[in-house]
Amino acid sequence: MQLQIDVSSVKSTIFLELLNVFKKDNMINDYRVIDHEKSAYDHEVLNDLSMLGDTLRDAKNGLGHRTSTTVTIQNV
């Protein structure tokens, strides 16, 4: 499972200490701090995700074409 939280810079030190406590107690496996800069890949992924709703609605309304491909997602 992945969780993304936006923390203000004022509270970031306290939050990082809390994450360290969770990691020491084996409540979380690991964490990483990422900056606000988004790469071209990030923009591409976010754009693709934003289109999922339209794609599902179109598929429900019979648009597109049916294939025999089945996707099974396990242990995500």
pLDDT value at residue 60: 83
pLDDT value at residue 2: 67
R_g over Cα of the chain: 19
pLDDT value at residue 70: 81
Long-range pairs, 44-51, Cβ under 8 A, ≥24: none
pLDDT value at residue 15: 80
Provide the residue-wise pLDDT of the chain in tens; the chain has 76 residues.
666 777 776 677 788 888 888 888 888 888 777 767 777 887 888 888 888 888 888 888 888 777 888 888 887 6
Instruction: Round to whole Å and give the CA distance between 60 and 66.
Output: 11
Q: Quick one: CA torsion of 20, 21, 25, 28, rounded to 10 degrees? A: -50
User: pTM of the predicted model, to two decimals?
Assistant: 0.36
| Amino acid of residue 18 | L
